[in-house]
Structure 1
Amino acid sequence: MPSARPPADLVRAAEAYLAEEQPDDGPLWQPLTGGRTNRLWQVGQKVVKLYDPAQETPLFPNDPGAEFSAMTTLCDAGLAPRPVARITGEFGVALIYHYLQGATGHGDMAALARMLHRVHSAPPPPGLRRLPGGSREILAQTDALMTLLPKPHAGLAELRKRLNTRDEIAPGPSVLIHADPVSANIVTTDPGPMLIDWQCPALGDPCEDLAIILSPSMQRAYGALLDPAQAAELLSAYPDAESCRRYQRLAPFYHVRMAAYAQWSLENGRATGAEGVEEDLDAARKALTDGA
């Protein structure tokens, strides 16, 4: 595990931006937990986030420039924390932004659905990557993940084969999406829920964000499993009914893709158990049966 202490050169580089946070004996850097990719410290009412480029994964980039741009674009709308500075040095790249006071977790599902729709309706910052959309491109993502596995997974291979028999589903609209709205990245503030960890935003189908929230393996990774009533509430409260209908048709494709990602995570030490893989596969089977 990396040291909880911030690198000395990062502390020196950040000092100018943390001046108002400094007591007489210097600021206290308090490590923050919850993230699985980068190192974070709370310093007074600000956060210092040090990026680890080695933690980028096949589905989730780790782009400090994209995060800074997304925060800058969305903070005035109350959809992201307010950024302070992006700094570089021998330590790498770090972002300083204002700390959000509140509990992390899914919280009120209806409020979460409305907040997601506000994100999806917001003007996107320039230069965002584009995500695959529609059943054909999601299958291609799944196939690419499966080629990274050291050995075949029987249940995954069987369900991937079944998806070949489904009618093709066209891509939806291309809008701003967070792309990683897991429970640890949702903060319930006084005005309402807000998203943090914007290091992999994209242009894509709003179904992508719904799929990440509703993936059992992603829920399990952060210890926040949803029950069926909560999942149903998210979809019923999301203001765009057409996107919800499209998500329900795409659900088996998303669940199989996320099972492949969960298996990759297990093989690469990012997960400790296979429960999430099997739960996403079970969710795919159910979605295939319900949609038959």
Structure 2
Amino acid sequence: MDQTLPPADILAELAAQRPDHRPATPWQILPGGRVNRLWQQGDLVLKVYDPNGASPLFANDPKAEAAALRHVAPYGLAPELRAEGAGWVAYAHVPGQNWQQDVTIVARLLGRLHALPTLPDLPEKREVWPHPTALLHYDPVPGNIVIRPDQPPLLIDWQCPALGDPAHDLAIFLSPAMQMLYAGKPLSRDDHDLFLMTYPNRETVARYQTHAPQLHRRIADHCLWRAARSAPGYAEAARAEMALLEQRPDPDTQGQKSRAP
């Protein structure tokens, strides 16, 4: 089987749904996907899902991605969905580059997303602490933020959208592990603080600051889970996340220590 081309059965389904898509250029593999496979042909991106790609923290659901793109694209925050099928989606290619600098762009982008109407039938990330429910991207890492010249940025790779506390998205973007995996290094303390200063909802920022130890502990556990399965880079990423936890101890653990004899 030619692994450089998308599966033939998916190409047949795509052609049936999009008979107007007939570019002269061949399919090209897109780099960057850690779980799923991506190809581009002309102005179309085809994403084929790994059925074993989910983790305990991050889902990997093509139906959820299709629903999220339909819901979010009209607001200018995601690419347009072009076609979908069992285990795949196709959406408009977005020219630009992955986010590399200026955390204020991401803070405003997530603020816009979290202010949108919610989308029914998505998984709910319920917490023990009180919180509002917002639409979450749930994977706003640098590789999933496209910066476009003279246009607003977009979020791509919507395979794990959810409903829940927007503090989740803040934690994932600020995560030292996720920054290392996708940008090569954690954010500086100044950028971390600037992001929180710029994000528009102060109550969400306050909840993030209160519950950051729990949120980042989950990310560290995810990295350890991936490292145990030999995923490249995740052992180092887990160490970076745990270093943050050492700086910001879990308040529940601290309370237990203070009550110990």
TM-score, with normalisation over the residues of structure 1?
0.80
3-state SS in 2 of match to 1:84: strand
**For the residues of structure 2 that align with 1:61 and 1:20, how far apart are their CA atoms?**
32
| Aligned residue-pair number | 249
1:219 is displaced (CA, Å) by 1.5
Q: Show CA shifts across 1:75-109 (max 9, x none).
A: 11111110011124xxxx22111011110124431
Q: Are residues 99 and 40 of structure 1, via their aligned partners in 2, closer, same or farther at CA, if it must alter by over 3 Å? A: same
- The one-letter amino acid paired with 2:249 is L
**For the residues of structure 2 that align with 1:198 and 1:20, how far apart are their CA atoms?**
25
3-state SS in 2 of match to 1:55: coil
Asked if 1:245 is matched to 2:206, the reply is yes
1:184 is displaced (CA, Å) by 0.7
Superposition pairs of residues 123-134 of structure 1, within 5 angstroms = 123-134=117-128
**For the residues of structure 1 that align with 2:208 and 2:43, how far apart are their CA atoms?**
38
Superposition pairs of residues 145-164 of structure 1, within 5 angstroms = none
Select which of 67, 71, 87 maps to 1:73. Answer: 71
CA contact (8 A) 1:106 1:186 kept: no
CA contact (8 A) 1:173 1:204 kept: yes
**For the residues of structure 1 that align with 2:114 and 2:100, how far apart are their CA atoms?**
18
Q: Which residue in 1 is equivalent to 2:192? A: 231
Select which of 53, 56, 72 maps to 1:55. Answer: 53
**For the residues of structure 2 that align with 1:228 and 1:43, how far apart are their CA atoms?**
40
**For the residues of structure 2 that align with 1:282 and 1:83, how far apart are their CA atoms?**
39
Higher relative contact order (CA 8 A, sep 6+): 1
Q: Show CA shifts across 1:165-196 (max 9, x none).
A: xxxxx232111110011111000123221100
**For the residues of structure 1 that align with 2:21 and 2:201, how far apart are their CA atoms?**
42
Superposition pairs of residues 1-292 of structure 1, within 5 angstroms = 3-17=3-17, 19-23=19-23, 27-88=25-86, 93-134=87-128, 170-189=129-148, 190-225=150-185, 226-272=187-233, 274-288=235-249
RMSD of the TM alignment (CA)?
2.0
1:288 is displaced (CA, Å) by 3.1
**For the residues of structure 2 that align with 1:68 and 1:289, how far apart are their CA atoms?**
36
3-state SS in 2 of match to 1:69: helix
**For the residues of structure 1 that align with 2:48 and 2:108, how far apart are their CA atoms?**
31
**For the residues of structure 2 that align with 1:113 and 1:75, how far apart are their CA atoms?**
19
Q: Which residue in 2 is equivalent to 1:151? A: none
CA contact (8 A) 1:252 1:285 kept: no
CA contact (8 A) 1:186 1:194 kept: yes
CA contact (8 A) 2:224 2:234 kept: no
Q: Are residues 250 and 242 of structure 1, via their aligned partners in 2, closer, same or farther at CA, if it must alter by over 3 Å? A: same
Question: Percent of counterpart pairs with the same letter?
Answer: 39
> Which blocks of at least 5 consecutive residues in structure 1 are unaligned?
135-169
Q: Which residue in 1 is equivalent to 2:259? A: none
**For the residues of structure 2 that align with 1:16 and 1:210, how far apart are their CA atoms?**
40
Q: Which residue in 2 is equivalent to 1:143? A: none
**For the residues of structure 1 that align with 2:232 and 2:225, how far apart are their CA atoms?**
9
- The one-letter amino acid paired with 1:223 is A
1:27 is displaced (CA, Å) by 4.5
**For the residues of structure 1 that align with 2:166 and 2:249, how far apart are their CA atoms?**
21
1:214 is displaced (CA, Å) by 1.1
CA contact (8 A) 2:214 2:250 kept: no
